[in-house]
Structure 1
Amino acid sequence: MPAPRPALWADPLYLAALAAALPAVAIIAGITPLQLALHWPGWTPIVLLILVTPVLEEIVFRAGLQDALATRGSYRLAGLTLANVLTALMFCLVHLFRHAPAWALATIVPALVFGWAYERHPRLVAPILLHALYNLAYLVLLSPA
């Protein structure tokens, strides 16, 4: 029987993933064509990208795709499940519809973190909170049009 996981807010690895949002987005901005541009994005993007999008995307990608792939086996690649890796790749492909290829490719890393959090704390609240915070960092640091 595996050791029980710490509660979400008592899990130092989950808290580290939350704390990594701003630095991760800043690093991703440094390796993509997007430029840092601090400014308030307005309420509509905040509501859509902080409240709506994380919930919908995590339902589709974690509770839908990742769970479905996980039922087919528990293969691991470098400590990550194959279900998580394949889901992160699909997450990236979907982001190609709205983002430049370099930025869409960069979403793989946060997607792997969201998937890891879902596997570690198998409730949607874990990846939704991470996703919302990463999106907030994206909005505030990069101010996309």
Structure 2
Amino acid sequence: MRRALLAAACCLTLVACGTDSTNTTNDDKTSDPAALTYPSGDGVLAGYPKKVSVSSIDERLATTYEGQLADGQLVALAPGVYTPFSPVEPDLTAYLSSDTPSDGDCTIKQKYFPATGGSCWSGVQPGGEEPGW
């Protein structure tokens, strides 16, 4: 009887462990970038979108965001292209919408965000918190 109870307890433990390993929640609120596209239709570059600090980006852009950011955070949409982060929308993929204005490097912005509002400058390099930089 004791062995039967022990065996049953082991089985329940294994089943419970198996349930945890199939957890598919995504705590960082960002989908698999391979399935995402920019408004241009191009696939989203690896590591983007990413939340970054305004202090890590090109000074020309940083000054345009002065007084506009609640927490000093931006979403890097592509290398050198940004939009303000809002704690109300933690899903970074939502910022890839063609309705979201973006600011940053003219070449990258025109390639991936051709019809979105926002400003651009020539030669904006990716910030220090962006992938590969």
User: As a proportion of its length, which structure holds more helix?
Assistant: 1
User: Which has a greater percent of strand?
Assistant: 2
Larger radius of gyration: 2
Query: TM-score if structure 1 supplies the norm length?
Result: 0.26
- Which structure's relative contact order is higher, taking Cα pairs within 8 Å and 6+ residues apart? 1
